[in-house]
Amino acid sequence: SGPHIYGCLVCGKFFRGKGKRTPAYLHSINENHNVFIHLNSERQNQKQKQTQKNSNDNAHDNDNDSGNSGVTFWCLPDDYEIIDSSLDDIKNAFRPIYTPSDIRSLDDQTSLSRDLFGKRYLPGYV
């Protein structure tokens, strides 16, 4: 797989590319599914993290920045990036960031959580 993988947020199918005559573009036209998540490559994520680290060297804020998730959202076939905070949950769930404290507390977690479909699960179990 390359760095140009797009997932349809309507039906969950994955496609390569977003230019005209690519599978993602044709899917957006044929199915009228217009919102896609772009799954950036690991190399791009490393570049983003390095840039983020360099810009935050003097910062004292340790919040998890969703900009490190390596995903963007696109409207096809119009080909523009969607920047909307309502998509942050998807971005954060795609590549979650855990602190060492979060990981240590997983063993103490005994209550079940619910996913978006209402199905119960034990957090930390993969």
Q: What is the pLDDT of residues 4-63, one digit of tens each?
A: 899 999 999 999 999 999 999 999 999 999 999 998 755 454 554 554 555 444 433 333
pLDDT at 80: 96
Residues 81-118 have pLDDT tens digits of: 999 999 988 888 877 788 898 888 877 877 888 887 88
Rounded to two decimals, the pTM is 0.62
- Phi, psi for 8 (deg, rounded to 5): -75, 125
Burial class (CB in 10 A: 0-12, 13-18, 19+), 28: buried
Local structure of residue 85 (DSSP, 8 states): G
Q: What is the mean pLDDT of the chain?
A: 78
